[in-house]
Amino acid sequence: MFDAVIIGGGPAGATAGRLLAQWGHAVVILTAPADPRPTLAECLPPSTRKLFRFLGIQDDIDGAGFYRTNGNTVWWGGRRRRVEPYPAGFGYQVPRGEFDRLLLGLAQSAGAQVRFGKVFSVPGEGGPRIEFQTAAKRVPVRARFLLDCSGRAGVIGRRFRVRQRHPRTVALWGVWRNDEGWKLPDPSHTLVESYGDGWAWSVPLARDVRHVAFMVGPGETQMVRGQGPGARYRAELAKTAAFRRIFARGALERGPWGRDASLYTARSFCGPGFLLAGDAGACIDPLSSFGVKKAMVSAWAGAVVANTWLRKPAMRETALRYFEERERQVQEDYARQSGAWFRAGAARQGHPFWEHRGEEADAANGRMEMDAVRAALEALRRKSSIHLRRADGVRTEPRPGIEGREIVLRDALMAPGVAGALDFLANVHLPRLVELAERGSSQVPDLYEAYNRACAPVALPDFLTALAALVAKGILIDRA
């Protein structure tokens, strides 16, 4: 019997498989054979490189020679064009088939077995049970721990799936070529444009090749019917202003195709002996360009949970609780963020497509939080002295968190009106900071020094961000 069986060899499955194999487990990834149809080009923003470095695969990614991108060019909510270079570093525009093959190869070279076929969920007593179908036979598969990384298909995940309130979204996409390249501020940029009842998106794979998609709501977008996908696709292009001008040059070389892009989450992300990682559990809006990163980080956390389950039976419940809370929190954070973008569109476009998608989130919430942290930071900077105390009801208690390859219990802050437990922010250990702040440093620089003596030293901007966040959230109160 395998220690861990992973369903699906996309970014989540390959990441979890590689890590668990590196940590000495017998792992198999059961995945569908590569789809012969073209795969979508996707954008991986610069912060994904930090994750690649953490996972030790940065050189392999660089070696693959993916087209590098420097930012986005955006026409959103009827505003003028915004050229947004990434503040630091570059990202990659990847053809997903190639990217996925690379990650799967890395998992294999770390010792994970990879088998091609189709996995089915079968009813039975106890936890989820699966069977694996190859050309020759269909066999039951048993594992000490099962990770569903099958993406939107959700072999196990489907049973736990909750569709988000707003209606379905479909991506209509095709591949464009223009031998002379397009006239753009930066040819490597992802392009995004909102229009009356949908939005358009384009990722380049080279100077002369771009994937172009239109995100439409079949229930809301006014679409051309009965004249085939080509007419429907071109009718969406005609609704845009900037895209229409740009893609008047070049030709639609392949496609269009349709792809489901509707949002969903999970009632539960794990249970005894299994978990749902990446899109098998929940997906985020493609507008964010963080789907792949989110899936890989979820797989890393999933691998840590599986490792803890396999090696530390006493910590099993704690590990599952950690994963459940983490995935839910991450999903809520992304939903809030994309809701804010859709609200910005709704304000201008006033169409149900935008209003429905903006409803999910509390746009003001995220913005207000950032404003409050900034204001707290400014106030701290102006003060000649501080006198901080912990607010009533704020307590420190042991909560599950990741340490290396395992889930452990460590101190975290619980505060009234603040969702979830707070342990680290910008590498600063918040419970320790609260404790030191209460001991009475009257100057911020003294508190900074005291923190750096007591804990792993952090940079001053990180320290100030963490301190300001504690004040902004009302966890620390300044009596000075």
Ligand X SMILES: Cc1cc2nc3c(=O)[nH]c(=O)nc-3n(C[C@H](O)[C@H](O)[C@H](O)COP(=O)(O)OP(=O)(O)OC[C@H]3O[C@@H](n4cnc5c(N)ncnc54)[C@H](O)[C@@H]3O)c2cc1C
3-class SS at 285?
coil
**Which amino acid, one-letter code, is at 163?**
R
Distance CA 211, CA 204 (A): 6
**Which amino acid, one-letter code, is at 45?**
P
The answer to whether residues 307 and 405 touch, using CB atoms and an 8 Å cutoff, is yes
Q: How many residues bind ligand X (CB under 6 A)?
A: 37
> Would you count residue 295 as binding ligand X (CB under 6 A)?
yes
Nearer to ligand X, 150 or 318 (CB): 150
> Would you count residue 119 as binding ligand X (CB under 6 A)?
yes
Nearer to ligand X, 120 or 424 (CB): 120
> Would you count residue 21 as binding ligand X (CB under 6 A)?
no
β-strand pairing of 27-31 with 113-116: parallel
Q: How far is the CB of 279 from ligand X (least distance, A)?
A: 4
Tell me how far CA of residue 369 lies from CA of 340, 365, 443, 444, in angstroms. Answer: 13, 6, 25, 22
> Would you count residue 31 as binding ligand X (CB under 6 A)?
yes
Stretch that binds ligand X, among 218-226, 277-285, 307-315, 345-353 (CB under 6 A): 277-285
Distance CA 475, CA 478 (A): 10
Q: Specify the DSSP element, H or E, that contains 61.
A: helix 58-63
> Would you count residue 213 as binding ligand X (CB under 6 A)?
yes
Distance CA 321, CA 155 (A): 22
Q: How far is the CB of 352 from ligand X (least distance, A)?
A: 21
> Would you count residue 118 as binding ligand X (CB under 6 A)?
yes
Which residue in the set 3, 4, 5, 9 belongs to the binding site for ligand X (CB under 6 A)? Answer: 9
Q: How far is the CB of 51 from ligand X (least distance, A)?
A: 11
Site for ligand X in 235-264 (CB under 6 A): 259, 261
Q: Which is nearest to 184 in space by CA: 198, 202, 199?
A: 202
Q: Is the peptide bond before 457 cis (omega within 30 degrees of 0)?
A: no
Q: How far is the CB of 101 from ligand X (least distance, A)?
A: 10
Q: Which is nearest to 285 in space by CA: 230, 197, 204, 217?
A: 217
> What is the CA 70 to chain-centroid distance, rounded?
20
> Would you count residue 400 as binding ligand X (CB under 6 A)?
no
Stretch that binds ligand X, among 7-15, 82-90, 415-423, 467-475 (CB under 6 A): 7-15
Q: How far is the CB of 112 from ligand X (least distance, A)?
A: 14
> Would you count residue 102 as binding ligand X (CB under 6 A)?
no
> Would you count residue 107 as binding ligand X (CB under 6 A)?
no
Structure tokens at 22: 């590196």
Which residue in the set 27, 283, 305, 430 belongs to the binding site for ligand X (CB under 6 A)? Answer: 283
Structure tokens at 248: 């008047």
Residue whose tokens read 């050229």: 83
> Would you count residue 91 as binding ligand X (CB under 6 A)?
no
Which residue in the set 3, 6, 8, 448 belongs to the binding site for ligand X (CB under 6 A)? Answer: 8
Site string for ligand X, 138-167 (x = CB under 6 A): -----------xxxxx-x------------
Distance CA 198, CA 391 (A): 46
Q: Which residues lie near ligand X (CB under 6 A)?
A: 7-13, 30-32, 40, 42-44, 118-119, 149-153, 155, 171, 213, 259, 261, 278-280, 283, 286, 289-293, 295
